[in-house]
Amino acid sequence: MSSVQIHVAFDVLAWLAAGLAALWLSRGERIPFPAVTMTIPYLAALMCGAAAGAYVLGSANLWLSGQAGVARSIEGAVFGAIVAIELYKHHAGIRTRTGSRFALPFAVGVAVGRIGCFLSGIEDFTHGTPTTLPWAHDFGDGVPRHPAQLYESASMALFAIVYVVAVRRRNAFAIDNGFYLAAGYYGLQRFVWEFFKPYGAVIGPFTLFHLLSAAIVVYAVVMIVTAPTPRTADEHAVA
């Protein structure tokens, strides 16, 4: 299979894994997530924001790194989706939190999708910088590099495990703030891994994705700090 075919295959697997994770929590485990109605305009804003962020910010990072062409970015998709949804909610007058059900699908999707990035080789431009560490990987150019994609995949898999344990124990904070916990954790770990990427700097040693990561972390912290009063155990039981 070519690198493009591998990437597409794992993109599909990531979506399937995310969907199954969501179904398992809501139907199998019957986790009492806050009641939210997913309307067509909401889903349209989510998808359009994710697509725009993925391509615009992915391509911008490519150009800032001295590379030509068009690229997609997982982090760009996350950032774009967040901005689009918050703008939509503001316009529609929606004040409730709507992201709790997306925490596990988000973490699982990234964990699976990054494996596809790793297997796609040097052309994918998601590899790490050269290193002499024993787990360095040759992506096809003869240079041992950090398998940065696997760092991210393992990080998000770890989050998924901890999150599942928490929500299965009916931890109210984890259930109600799951997406913001996932987003904040994603931003933090991604900020660290960016130091092992060959991307062009924007400010000092920081790349475009460093700045996006920091913005996502700030967003998550603000949303958690300003969260409404947690639901009681009785409210969780009947949700």
Q: Are 214 and 191 in contact (CB under 8 A)?
A: yes
pTM of the complete model:
0.91
Q: What is the pLDDT of residue 222?
A: 96
Q: What is the pLDDT of residue 158?
A: 98
Q: How do beta strands 144-145 and 137-138 pair?
A: antiparallel
Of 57-61, 119-123, 228-232, give the lowest mean pLDDT range: 228-232
Of 9-13, 159-163, 211-215, 232-236, give the lowest mean pLDDT range: 232-236
Strand partners, 138: 144
Q: What is the pLDDT of residue 233?
A: 46
Break the chain into its structural domains and give their ranges. Answer: 25-98+151-238
Q: What does the CA dihedral 35, 186, 181, 83 come to, rounded to 10 degrees?
A: -50
Reported as a single tens digit per residue, the pLDDT across 109-168 is 999 999 999 999 888 899 999 999 999 999 989 999 999 999 999 999 999 999 999 999
Q: What is the pLDDT of residue 155?
A: 97
As a whole number, mean pLDDT of residues 32-36 equals: 82
Q: What is the mean pLDDT of the chain?
A: 91
Q: What is the pLDDT of residue 239?
A: 44
Q: What is the pLDDT of residue 175?
A: 93
As a whole number, mean pLDDT of residues 41-54 equals: 95
- Evaluated on CA atoms 84, 88, 89, 90, the torsion sign reads positive
> What are the DSSP calls for 1-66, one per residue?
--HHHHHHHHHHHHHHHHHHHHHIIIIIS---PPP----HHHHHHHHHHHHHHHHHHHHHHHHHTT
Q: What is the pLDDT of residue 232?
A: 53
